[in-house]
């Protein structure tokens, strides 16, 4: 089934696009929700008008929500949860919990379906994308820590882990380079001795 999108549809296309979709998706969701119309010859004549009006609406919406996007980028959420010894949570941090926390912090109601994340089931730092519009998708930093622990403790622990990991990699790399240099020196001395 070919449809003409009248509004932007996430992961499908922008308003004014002609898309081929499954019959059930078009008939049961897109058309009844007013997101698309059948791609008939009469509807195809309206493509330019739909694109222009959608671009104007999209630009206006992007300008209005750009301030909110900046607030969300600067936002850092922390969740104190119960977790096992290995860092696995007893339960998870869901998109609904993230949405409620955003509303509590900055007073903006964001639907949980606008937050793109699987339920978080491990301790540590996580990045979550909030889909405000098709073009505006700020990323939020989320820190999941054990109940009773402070966030500074977690950040210092993660910094120490990163520094030890990079230090180990650097020393291993230096060892490999030194080994290669010593083999090339011994090969050169053998060649000169043979001559």
Residue 110 in contact with residue 102, Cβ under 8 Å? yes
List, as one string, the DSSP characters of 120-140: EEESEEEEEEE-SSSS---EE
Residue-level pLDDT at 156: 53
148: left (phi over 0), alpha (psi -120 to 50) or beta: left
Same domain, 140 and 73: yes
Same domain, 102 and 33: no
Across residues 74-91, what is the average pLDDT?
Answer: 89
Residue 170 in contact with residue 177, Cβ under 8 Å? no
Per-residue model confidence as pLDDT tens digits over 99-110 = 999 999 988 888
Structural domain harbouring 26: 2-45
pTM of the predicted protein model: 0.65
Q: Is residue 100 part of a domain?
A: yes
Q: Reply yes or no on whether the pLDDT at 187 is more than 60.
A: no
Per-residue model confidence as pLDDT tens digits over 3-47 = 999 988 888 998 889 999 999 999 999 999 999 999 988 888 888
Per-residue model confidence as pLDDT tens digits over 39-73 = 988 888 888 888 898 889 989 988 888 888 898 88
Mean pLDDT computed over every residue of the chain: 80
Same domain, 92 and 135: yes
Q: How many domains does the chain have?
A: 2
Q: Is residue 31 part of a domain?
A: yes
Domain harbouring 88, CATH code: 3.10.430.100
Across residues 135-154, what is the average pLDDT?
Answer: 81
Q: Is residue 91 part of a domain?
A: yes
Across residues 121-140, what is the average pLDDT?
Answer: 89
Residue-level pLDDT at 193: 46
Query: By CB neighbour count within 10 A (0-12 exposed, 13-18 middle, 19+ buried), where does 6 fall?
Result: buried
Residue 13 in contact with residue 40, Cβ under 8 Å? no
Same domain, 12 and 75: no
Q: Reply yes or no on whether the pLDDT at 188 is more than 50.
A: no
Rounded CA separation 90/83 (Å): 5
């Amino acid at each position: 089934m070919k449809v003409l999108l009248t509004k932007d549809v996430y992961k499908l296309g922008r308003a004014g696009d002609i898309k081929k979709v499954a019959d059930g998706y078009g008939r049961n969701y897109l058309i009844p929700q007013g997101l698309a119309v059948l791609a008939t010859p009469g509807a195809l004549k309206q493509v330019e008008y739909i694109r222009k009006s959608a671009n104007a609406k999209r630009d206006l919406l992007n300008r209005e929500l750009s301030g909110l996007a900046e607030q969300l980028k600067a936002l850092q959420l922390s969740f104190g949860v119960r977790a096992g010894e290995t860092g696995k949570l007893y339960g998870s941090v869901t998109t609904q919990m993230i949405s409620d926390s955003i509303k509590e912090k900055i007073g903006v109601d964001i639907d949980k379906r606008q937050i793109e994340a699987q339920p978080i089931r491990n301790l540590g730092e996580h990045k979550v994308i909030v889909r405000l519009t098709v073009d505006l998708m700020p990323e939020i930093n989320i820190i999941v820590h054990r109940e009773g622990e402070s966030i500074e403790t977690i950040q210092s622990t993660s910094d120490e882990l990163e520094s030890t990991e990079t230090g180990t990699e650097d020393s291993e790399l230096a060892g490999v380079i030194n080994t290669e240099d010593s083999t090339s020196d011994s090969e050169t001395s053998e060649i000169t001795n043979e001559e």
